[in-house]
Amino acid sequence: MAATSLASRLFSLLLTFIVLGALFVETNAKADANLVRLLGGQAVNLWRLEAAREAKQATTLEFGRPQDISQAPLSHEHEETAAGEELRRIRGHWFRQPLDHFSNSSRTFRQRYWVNTRHYRPNTSAPVIVLDGGETSGEDRLPFLDTGIVEILAKATGGVGVVLEHRYYGRSIPVSNLSTDSLRFLNNDQSAADSANFMRNVKFPGIEEDLTAPNTPWIYYGGSYAGARAAHMKVLYPDIVYGAIASSGVTHATLENWEYMDIIRRAADPKCSTHLEKSIRTIDTLLAIPRVGRRLKALFGLANLQHDEDFVSLIESPLGAWQAKNWDPEVGSTEFDKFCEALDEPLRGHEADGLTYDEDAQLVSLPNGLSIDLSVFNYAKYIKENVVSQCPEEFGVEDCFGTFDDAKFQETDLSNTWRLWVFQVCTEWGYFSTAPPLDQPRIVSKLLTVEYESMICRQAFPPGEHFTVPAMPNVTAVNVLGDFGITADRLAIIDGEDPARLTASTLRKEKIPFYDHSS
């Protein structure tokens, strides 16, 4: 009775925090997964350029193959976090997991976790609050354990806070490479079984009391993909998950996710959206005229980028900064706002560049005979200065930003961490960010089709000896657990205006069932 009462108080307390704005928000702009959701193969190009840039000062690189960013081997017994000096006192621990929970195989791996016991009150039936690490290193989640929502809830209840790293991510690596066969155990069922096994059997260092489930109430917490996992854990393992909090949980998987960009179009500053819509209409029109299309790409610094699909995918990249916006300037990003400001800049000093400008029509005439909207001219300038400039001088833009060369996506060593979420996308989750239907307004090109966006699945994951990636993701594996109508006792579905998922307000507007079981 005491355990039930205390856990119920936790849910009431959480809802109070929601009202106050203490929501779980994913603000890690460097997470590979967010970029991959938007840009597919183009995201891998940008990932490599960023990795090369960061590693350049420390090691000599062969372009596209960072030599010193792989996860440390599992033999490392003593952990240091990458979350800053103030978090180094939080040591990582290991829990032994079966590689395959659904066979008689004896193969195991070590799953990493961190625990906060500073507020623990023994023998009070206080809960364990576990935050699912999701599709990134668990180290990225340590602020939530030290000063964030897990710390807040543990302090309020006298409970224990835990961050559990997802299999294959961070240092919870069960394999020696990231080939198709090696990745076959990276799926929803296996990762859910990891969490259940952990909850049933973990023995926390320094705690004598048995805090395993179901004897102790466990509250499962996650956001975005990990939010869906939180909801799924409550559905799959109701006997051991007392309650679950799914923040912006993506419980509906889909092949095409054109709504992502449409939410940005509708929610951004109207002037910015207007500039983007006008620019994309012009760009799509000009690309359809071969000679003119090449002149257009030259304006962006991309004349030698062979495929128009790669061009429109690359110029989509600034839109990815939208999800990094946050009310807290300490963790938020202003990059999207800077992009919008750049689109609205007046034309200055154009006479020296041989340009003519019709101010009334806001039309720029270039020396090569091309006339374009000012917003397109500004768009091109932004892409050239902020994106194309990342390509090293010794490489051409096709080397940096082309995606049609299969060999670019077939490196399988452990440094290629982009392969993890891409594999999950290609096998079960989908979310290919495509253009909206032709009768809808749009801020991305109509050339962004599901065929183009899913091309990386065939390139990166050729059939293995033991596993073949399906022609299209098996999204039924996700949706069968509840989809939009997912419901369970003590499952709190909390959402924000975030384009990574369909929000609560959208669900209500579209009259789709929405559940918030918080007691």
Do the strands 491-494 and 243-247 form a parallel or antiparallel pair, or are they unpaired?
parallel
The two structure tokens encoding residue 60:
């000599």
3-state helix, strand, coil in the chain (%, to 5): 40, 10, 45
Please report the sign of the dihedral spanned by the C-alpha atoms of residue 222, residue 518, residue 152, residue 89: negative
Residue 224 a catalytic site member: yes
* CB contact at 8 A, 449 and 257: no
CA distance 503 to 298: 39
CA distance 427 to 448: 20
The two structure tokens encoding residue 439:
């009768």
3-class state of residue 254 by DSSP: strand
DSSP 262: H
Kindly report whether the peptide bond that precedes residue 290 is cis, defined as omega within 30 degrees of 0.
no
Residue 239 a catalytic site member: no
CA distance 172 to 94: 9
Q: Which of 224, 247, 375, 433 is catalytic?
A: 224
Burial 341-353 (b: 16+ CB within 10 A, else e): ebbeeeeeeeeee
CA distance 192 to 228: 11
Burial 465-483 (b: 16+ CB within 10 A, else e): eeeebeeebbbeebbebbb
3-class state of residue 43 by DSSP: helix
Q: Which of 284, 373, 495, 498 is catalytic?
A: 498
CA distance 458 to 435: 21
Instruction: Compute the chain's Rg from CA coordinates.
Output: 24
Do the strands 356-358 and 218-223 form a parallel or antiparallel pair, or are they unpaired?
unpaired
User: Which amino acid would we find at residue 78?
Assistant: H
CA distance 364 to 28: 38
Q: For residue 183, which of 456, 472, 462 has the smallest C-alpha distance?
A: 462
Q: For residue 192, which of 220, 212, 213, 211 has the smallest C-alpha distance?
A: 220
CA distance 415 to 417: 6
Q: What is the largest CA-CA distance in the chain?
A: 80
How many Å separate Cα 230 from the centre of its chain?
16
* CB contact at 8 A, 471 and 343: no
Residues that are catalytic: 224, 498
